[in-house]
Amino acid sequence: MENSIMIAQDNRITMSRYDFTPIEKRCLYYVIKEVRRLYVDKELREDDKTYQDLFSDMYLHLKPEQLQSLGDEVKDVYNALKRLRERTIEINTEEVWMVTSWILKAKHHKKTNTYEVLVSSEILEYLVELASQFTEYSLTVAISLKSTYSQRFYEWCCQYRNKGKFFLEVDRLRYLLKIEEKKSYENTAEIKRSILDVAQKELQELFEAGQSDLYFTYRVKDSNKRKILSYWFDIHTRETEEQKKIHFETTQAQIRRIMEICTTFIKRDEKYLNRVLKYLHLYPNLAAEVLGKLHKKVNDYPRKEIPAIIRYVLREDYGIK
């Protein structure tokens, strides 16, 4: 991930309602990258012509090697750009409701073999982060994703990565992905199989291959009898994975120390020691607490009293008999 290119977009776009094919979204990623190169990645003054152009429709010039990597043939690029021209984006916030097109025009200059894309000033405002909140994500990862659902979840995970998790109601998820009218997705099990599992699997595989900076897992948040109403999405990054590894190793060391204390003072009751070990494996989060209590008892009481005290503490405080 050292050579990944970072781009950003306004959160209102990240959480807006649309449904792209993967090739259309990859095309849009290149558009966003070019917008940021021209308007965001350098300091702009109010008297700068580039700053003034921010409030006008903007022409982007894209290289063929960028766009043709989206498909095997020029026609694949044509189709993606044409669909972007025809598709609408709907933004609905506390401040404004707006429906507009992602691009106004696309042109291929065949003699020079360059592409020209016209971006509306209405959408340009969001693409260059005039709002204070934005999402950063890696262009390298975004373009490599094969599923449109992986692309959306990757953006959402990037938006909430500092919080470590986010939740979505199932109805809200249907709305954002524009699948609420598809009968097959009335069934939550189908959403899990065709959307959540697909996105989770692709992102985790890229993460494990060192090609992505994060992935997610999910769990039920709210349910009504057998109907799932919402999900938590837990975000895993390199940092959190390293923290988990350190925490696991620390916990294992604490469990080993607890068992050393127990075997030192309770030598002839192997079945009891196995019950203690089983409990610690079931509740590893209690290892530090148990170890602290045992250390205190060992230090505070005569040696001959410690076996009975250990059994008493483990029985009364943790139910280990």
User: Within a domain: residue 214?
Assistant: no
Tell me if 36 is assigned to some domain: yes
The residue ranking higher by pLDDT, 8 or 283, is 283
At 39, which CATH number? 1.10.10.10
pLDDT tens-digit readout, 231-265: 999 999 887 667 677 778 888 888 999 999 999 99
| Domain match, 11 and 120 both | yes
Mean local confidence (pLDDT), 41-67: 59
Q: What is the pLDDT of residue 44?
A: 44
Is the residue at 193 inside a domain? no
CA distance 93 to 99: 12
Domain shared by 16 and 123, yes or no: yes
Half-sphere exposure of 29 (CA within 13 A, CB side): 29
Query: Are 138 and 271 found together in one domain?
Result: no
Structural domain boundaries enclosing 302 = 240-318
Q: Which of 85, 117, 144 is the last residue of a domain?
A: 144
Q: Is 129 in the same domain as 250? A: no
Residue 160 within any structural domain of the chain: no
Is the domain of 6 the same as that of 137?
yes
Q: Give percent of the chain above pLDDT 90.
A: 26
Straight-line distance from the first to the last Cα atom of the chain, in angstroms, rounded to the nearest whole number: 51
Q: Which of 113, 144, 175 is the last residue of a domain?
A: 144
Residue 30 has pLDDT above 50, yes or no: yes
Task: Look at residue 277 and tell me if it is in a domain.
Answer: yes
> Residue 51 pLDDT more than 50?
no
Are 140 and 245 part of one and the same domain? no
Higher pLDDT among residues 107 and 49, named by residue = 107
Residue 235 lies in a domain: no
When divided into structural domains, the chain yields a total of 2
pLDDT of residue 69: 57
Report, as an integer, the average pLDDT of 90-111.
Answer: 84
What are the pLDDT digits (tens) for 128-169? 653 233 445 677 788 788 888 998 999 888 888 878 899 999
Answer whether residue 56 is part of any domain. yes
Q: Model confidence at 55, in pLDDT bands (50, 70, 90)?
A: low
| Any domain includes 47 | yes
Q: Which of 144, 176, 196 is the last residue of a domain?
A: 144
Among residues 223, 298, 230, the alpha carbon closest in space to that of 265 is found at 298
pLDDT value at residue 6: 58
